[in-house]
Amino acid sequence: MARRKAARPVTTAAGDVMLAELVFHHQGHPIGDFRKAWQTACVAAGVGKFVCRQCGQPTNGHKCESCGTDSVRYVGRLFHDFRRTAVRNMVRAGVPEKVAMSISGHKTRSIFDRYNIVSEDDLRSAMARTQDYLKGSRKQEQPTVITKSAAKK
């Protein structure tokens, strides 16, 4: 992302410098499809790989060294995987859900809920917080014991 930010200033044909509005661009102009660049970046970052469709062996490029075919597919992180991560992180950080929906670009509650998935850890944490609450409230609700001598007074 730091490299993409550094690539924002673009010199035009007239010699002027402008800031590109796009994250993925070619001299300030949109590129056709950023998936190839995304896949290459993920492979370089170690969160994805190219695999041969026929033999399943990892490849270094667009041709399989094992079987010689050029039928290669990408396996790894997708752009929307990080959108889900961002939504989950915002909700767990206490960002109001309306604000998180606005930041993530979700227009409907139902789609936002698809991204805000509940994990086993979330369930365990909720149960632990509930148990802590119940332990604390039981200490506060100690009944007052009235003895016979206090009752006569």
Q: Which long-range contacts (CB under 8 A, 24 or more apart) does 87-95 make?
A: 87/112, 87/115, 87/116, 88/115, 88/116, 88/117, 91/116
Is the pTM value of this prediction over 0.85?
no
pLDDT of residue 32: 77
> Residue 97 class from Cβ within 10 Å (0-12 exposed, 13-18 middle, 19+ buried)?
middle
The domains of the chain are located at: 34-76, 78-118
Strands 9-11 and 17-19: antiparallel
pLDDT of residue 48: 92
pLDDT less than 50: residues of the chain: none
Q: What are phi and psi of 81, to 5 degrees?
A: -60, -40
